[in-house]
Amino acid sequence: MRAGLAPLAAAAAGLLQALSLAWPAGGQPLWWLQLLSLAGLAGLLQRAASWKGAALLGWIFATAWLTGTFWWLFISMHVYGGLASPLAAAAVVLLAAFLSLYYAAAAGLYARARAGRTWLEGVLFAALWLGAELLRGTLFTGFPWGAGGYAHVDGPLAPLVPWIGVYGVGAAAAWLAYLLSLLALGTVRASWRYWVAVAASAGLLAACNVQRPSAADGAGGPVLKVALLQGNIPQDEKFQGGTGIPVALEWYGQRLRDSGAQLVVAPETAIPLLPQQLPEGYEQALRATFAQGQRAALVGMPLGSFEEGYTNSALGFGPGRAYRYDKHHLVPFGEFIPPLFKWFTRMMNIPLGDFNRGGVGQPSFEWQGQRLAPNICYEDLFGEELGARFADPARAPTIFVNLSNIAWFGDTVAIDQHLQISRMRALEFARPMIRATNTGATAIIDRHGRVTHALQRHTRGVLVGEVQGGEGMTPFARWVSRFGLGPLWLAALAAAAAALVAGRRGPRP
């Protein structure tokens, strides 16, 4: 390929990577497209004239990938925030370009320190790619939205998820993509070492896919009948006193009172006022509704005061129960303003503020033999934080409950991407995830990551279904609850170091 076409090819491959996470026509992840797109990058890096050129290609690939993944941030800043469209577009691209520096560093290091032997180069590529994904997911509070592993919630790599999580699956995908990229090289196709690596990888995947878990594996506790509320309150009206607020109070209040389900869940900030701002008797009536009988509720609403600070919270109501969950992982610019960026937030007409953080590993809401673990908005993006709740297996959650409001991003692929994220968490921990959202995706996901019930998005309605909790501990839950992402960091560093040392000692195939 001519040098001038390589940047265009890198950008095209990056856009395909974005599309693989949730195909626009249907929202499904395409694992094979993710492998092909990453193989395209690997092939370009192998032909780069210098490590600097490789770093540039990695940066272009990642910038196109990330821009194509979370372009919908433009809607929240421009449509709802009032930021001028050129500035909103520039902000999205600059965020993607900044996060892409991790992948530029990985690509440059790979080209600079290629091991010299086929399988070692693959190990090096996968290890460096894993390191870049981990850096994006942890530094500066982390924003791992659109990590490559999410394309594999379905497909042959899915059985690896309960063992190594989304980042580990992303590294396995990078290894396979590297092997795939070598098919274009005639000399490598003639190497027996290459085909041994291919056969070993195929054999491992086949072994993982031979025995899928049965529907009864890991079932825990009685079946729970749930009602998930989706108010579909327009974002530009949600916090308006003359429109969205009275509609939310009336609609959610009525559905909470009338539902016969054992558990009713209302989404993030379904009640858009602080308790002291509610009409007289509203909260007391809500508590009285669930004070007796066999029903309980989890309801998203803000809490706090100017003196004590505010939290984005979920309140639990039930007979003899008082429960509160405070969101831990806050959204930069939305729920806290990073240092030196107040000038940027002043340019938008979005109700922003510095919220207080809840603790990691907060207790579950215990109801009807299940331990319900709420997470709010994009907190389900951080599996290592959800994993902290598994430190004591006897108190580990049996069901995850996500309360979200993605109306900020319109009717876009953000809804599908978030659904795949929740499905990945269900696979990692072998726990069902029930989702109550303002505009979608309101759904029930079983402990095998399958969507069993779903409500049509951008409609107002109630999703009624049954869910059964999960018991036991996946290998991922065991190690992430003790060590966080430390084992993956060690694996990435050890694999890269081993590939470098071994590569210097041996010739090319």
Chain segment 236-254, per-residue pLDDT in tens: 899 888 899 999 999 999 9
208 in catalytic set: no
Of the listed 225, 238, 377, 428, which one is catalytic?
377
Residue 367 has pLDDT above 70, yes or no: yes
Tell me the residue range of the domain where 324 lies: 219-471
Residue 120 is predicted with a pLDDT of 80
> What is the SS3 assignment for 221?
strand
57 touches 41 (CB < 8 A) = yes
Residues 150 and 58 in one domain: yes
Residues 243 and 156 in one domain: no
CATH of the domain at 455: 3.60.110.10
Residue 215 is predicted with a pLDDT of 43
Residue 93 is predicted with a pLDDT of 97
Query: Confidence band (pLDDT; 50, 70, 90) for 214?
Result: very low
DSSP conformation letters of 140-182? GG---TT-GGGGGSSSTTGGGHHHHHHHHHHHHHHHHHHHHHG
415 touches 457 (CB < 8 A) = yes
Q: Is residue 477 a part of any domain in this protein?
A: no
Number of domains in the chain: 2
Q: Are strands 370-376 and 365-367 parallel, antiparallel or unpaired?
A: antiparallel
Of the listed 268, 335, 385, 428, which one is catalytic?
268
Q: Is residue 478 a part of any domain in this protein?
A: no
Fill in the DSSP letter of residue 75.
H
Query: What average pLDDT is seen over the chain?
Result: 90
Residues 38 and 116 in one domain: yes
Plot region of 401 (φ>0 → left; ψ -120 to 50 → alpha; else → beta): beta
Q: How many residues does the chain have?
A: 509
Residues 22 and 150 in one domain: yes
Residue 197 is predicted with a pLDDT of 72
Residues 66 and 126 in one domain: yes
Helices (H), 155-296: 161-181, 186-189, 192-210, 244-258, 282-289
Residues 234 and 342 in one domain: yes
Residues 462 and 493 in one domain: no
Residues 249 and 359 in one domain: yes
- The token duo for 151 is 């394309």
Residues 244 and 223 in one domain: yes
Check: pTM over 0.85? Answer yes or no. yes
Cα distance between residue 218 and residue 363, in whole Å: 21
> What is the SS3 assignment for 322?
strand
Residue 507 has pLDDT above 50, yes or no: no
Residue 509 has pLDDT above 50, yes or no: no
Residues 193 and 224 in one domain: no
Q: Is residue 476 a part of any domain in this protein?
A: no
Q: Is residue 360 a part of any domain in this protein?
A: yes
14 touches 64 (CB < 8 A) = yes
Cα distance between residue 228 and residue 211, in whole Å: 33
Residue 221 has pLDDT above 50, yes or no: yes
- The token duo for 64 is 């196109």
The mean pLDDT of 495-506, rounded to a whole number, is 74
Query: Confidence band (pLDDT; 50, 70, 90) for 339?
Result: low
Cα distance between residue 345 and residue 179, in whole Å: 45
Of the listed 133, 238, 283, 327, which one is catalytic?
327
Considering the chain, what percentage of its residues have pLDDT values greater than 70?
89
Task: Between 1 and 48, name the one with better pLDDT.
Answer: 48
Residues 490 and 374 in one domain: no
Q: Is residue 479 a part of any domain in this protein?
A: no
Helix (H) or strand (E) holding 376: strand 370-376
pLDDT tens digits, one per residue of 144-186: 999 999 999 999 999 999 999 999 999 999 999 999 898 876 6
Residue 208 has pLDDT above 50, yes or no: yes
Phi, psi angles (nearest 5°) of residue 291: -75, -25
Q: Is residue 187 a part of any domain in this protein?
A: yes
Query: Confidence band (pLDDT; 50, 70, 90) for 499?
Result: confident
The mean pLDDT of 53-73, rounded to a whole number, is 97
Q: Is residue 480 a part of any domain in this protein?
A: no
Query: Confidence band (pLDDT; 50, 70, 90) for 308?
Result: confident
Task: Between 470 and 334, name the one with better pLDDT.
Answer: 470
377 in catalytic set: yes
250 in catalytic set: no
Q: Is residue 184 a part of any domain in this protein?
A: yes
Helix (H) or strand (E) holding 480: helix 475-483
**Measured CA angle at 478 (ends 473, 480), to 5 deg:** 130
Task: Between 417 and 339, name the one with better pLDDT.
Answer: 417
- The token duo for 488 is 């993956």
Residue 455 has pLDDT above 60, yes or no: yes
Residues 292 and 208 in one domain: no
Residue 212 is predicted with a pLDDT of 58
